Amino acid sequence: MIGLYTAEEVRAAEAPLLAATAEGALMQRAAAGLASVCGRLLGAVYGRRVALLVGSGNNGGDALFAGARLAGRGARVTAVLLDPERAHPAGLSALRRSGGRVLAASDPAAPPLIGRADLVLDGMLGIGGRGGLRRDAVELTWAAAGGAGIAVAVDVPSGIDASTGEVDGVAFPAMHTVTFGAVKRGLVVGEGRGHAGQVHLVEIGLGHHLPVATAWQLTDADVAARLEPPSAGDDKYSQGVVGVLAGSATYPGAAVLCTGAALRTRPGLVRYAGGAADGVRAAWPEALVTEGGPGDAGRVQAWVVGPGGGTDEGARAVLAEVLATDLPVLVDADALTLLAREPELVRRRSAPTVLTPHDREFERFGTPVGTDRIGAARRLAADLGAVVLLKGDATVVADPGGTTFVNGTGTADLATAGTGDVLSGIAGAVLATQGTTGLDTAEAAAVAAHLHGRAGRLAARRGPLIAGDLVRRLPEAVGHVCGVPPALLGDSQA
């Protein structure tokens, strides 16, 4: 798992390391790693044009020292200084000794030079940056955005909050971010994720100085380790039994998508109960279907309730019935609307509960999400005593104790009708295996979000996706995270 840290946590970890190392040593480590990544991105360094956008802080120093290294390898490096009087003096000297040039940001030649560069390195602001960019920094940012060069941010893109991902106005649109010592939360969540591009972590020795992370991002390998493949002694009842309470005769789509996603995630058995029984039978003969309520479905190990289920008194009775059990329950869509009216239904539960709101559903519980998505998910989870999966481009999963996961596989292509129903089915299947895998509830929800995002990325390769494409791509997504060669997976569109 990748630990995610706030700016304050990183600064606190840097303090003892700075005190124990020679002056400038930490900056040299960062600059060496930064120059190495830039060299790889450029391919051949000799003769390439590199523009450095340099502020007055340490990020500007990192950029200058990295630029000096690139100039030493034959790159044509020019530093554009926002404040020539306050630029890092040692970094500036190193750049000039290596043959680099210097311009003031006010020089009319600066924007065209940035636009022609093969690589633009953003060292304007660091992790302590707050508020929007100044006008001169905005002009340099637009020049970089309008050029054809590779845009690389030093530690964090200028203009984003390193802890929350908030963007106040304009922020540097990085294609790559080279971050030092630890991955900052703002690079993977909120608007910051869209400005960070691909994140490259350069180790500078923070190591044991960092606290134990409370926010994490799962990798494919982490997810693979949390998926329990069937063994020779398993049967359909030992691999997880999911109960799906979704849809209606008028709106069967949610039931079909949710049930199909649960099946494709490969539990041992999926039971459906509800008013869309005919549609589910026709689409998924593998499911056991009843037209009754939860009590008629048979034994299950986890429930999914809410997608397309309505908000009338009958739907409220179904929700109350499953929340009164001691089984894991995932609450989505219409059931979230009901729960927002009667939150005590979940507050008094001791069994695992996962709520999966998008931003507008989240607001029904009393407060908007705001710019700090991790903080918002944590507060609602603590208030209700349930795991909250806050859906979005970077889905956030938080448990009542504050442990958080930020999903790294999401894509804007998933912003279409029915994809949430698919996520609910995936999560229900993973939750149903808790008894055999011992998987923590928040981790189970994070695994589901990861698989959902992987399926979305695979489906989007073929063009605009619809929710049904995700269901078809789920076996491939599971195979992908488990390292199965694509040739062995066949065509899961069939």
Asked whether residue 235 is marked as a ligand-binding residue, the answer is no
Residues 101 and 203 in one domain: yes
Asked whether residue 147 is marked as a ligand-binding residue, the answer is no
DSSP 276-296: THHHHHHH-TTSEEESS-GGG
- Angle at the Cα of 126 (from 121 to 131), degrees rounded to 5? 110
In a domain, 407, yes or no: yes
Which structural domain range is residue 362 located in? Answer: 220-489
- CATH number of the domain that residue 346 is part of: 3.40.1190.20
Asked whether residue 207 is marked as a ligand-binding residue, the answer is no
Instruction: Classify residue 265 by its DSSP letter.
Output: T
Residues 358 and 483 in one domain: yes
Distance CA 382, CA 484 (A): 38
CB atoms within 10 A of CB 216: 20
In a domain, 119, yes or no: yes
In a domain, 494, yes or no: no
Asked whether residue 296 is marked as a ligand-binding residue, the answer is no
Strand-pair partners of 81: 54, 104
Asked whether residue 449 is marked as a ligand-binding residue, the answer is no
Asked whether residue 59 is marked as a ligand-binding residue, the answer is yes
Asked whether residue 130 is marked as a ligand-binding residue, the answer is yes
> Where a domain ends, among 213, 236, 258?
213
Residues 268 and 185 in one domain: no
Residues 305 and 248 in one domain: yes
Strand-pair partners of 76: 49
Asked whether residue 410 is marked as a ligand-binding residue, the answer is no
In a domain, 12, yes or no: yes
Distance CA 402, CA 394 (A): 17
Per-residue tens of pLDDT for the chain, all 494 residues? 999 999 999 999 999 999 999 999 999 999 999 999 999 999 999 999 999 999 999 999 999 999 999 999 999 999 999 999 999 999 999 999 999 999 999 999 999 999 999 999 999 999 987 778 999 999 999 999 999 999 999 999 999 999 999 999 999 999 999 999 999 999 999 999 999 999 999 999 998 999 999 999 999 999 999 998 888 888 898 899 999 999 998 889 999 999 999 999 999 999 999 999 999 999 999 999 999 999 999 999 999 999 999 999 999 999 999 999 999 999 999 999 999 999 999 999 999 999 999 999 999 999 999 999 999 999 999 999 999 999 999 999 999 999 999 999 999 999 999 999 999 999 999 999 988 888 999 999 999 999 999 999 999 999 999 999 999 999 999 999 998 876 665 554 43
Instruction: Classify residue 160 by its DSSP letter.
Output: B
Residues 278 and 391 in one domain: yes
Query: Under 8 Å CB-to-CB from 274, ≥6 apart: which residues?
Result: 244, 245, 246, 247, 248, 255, 291, 293, 309
> Where a domain ends, among 165, 181, 213?
213
Residues 205 and 304 in one domain: no
- CATH number of the domain that residue 191 is part of: 3.40.50.10260
Residues 296 and 370 in one domain: yes
Asked whether residue 168 is marked as a ligand-binding residue, the answer is no
**pTM check: above 0.85:** yes
Asked whether residue 332 is marked as a ligand-binding residue, the answer is no
Asked whether residue 127 is marked as a ligand-binding residue, the answer is yes
- Report the number of distinct structural domains present in the chain: 2
Residues 103 and 138 in one domain: yes
Residues 188 and 250 in one domain: no
In a domain, 280, yes or no: yes
Asked whether residue 155 is marked as a ligand-binding residue, the answer is yes
Distance CA 6, CA 222 (A): 22
Asked whether residue 383 is marked as a ligand-binding residue, the answer is no
Distance CA 435, CA 237 (A): 11
Residues 322 and 436 in one domain: yes
> Where a domain ends, among 163, 188, 213?
213
Asked whether residue 407 is marked as a ligand-binding residue, the answer is no
* Cα 401 to the center of its chain, rounded Å: 20
Residues 247 and 185 in one domain: no
Asked whether residue 83 is marked as a ligand-binding residue, the answer is no
Residues 242 and 363 in one domain: yes
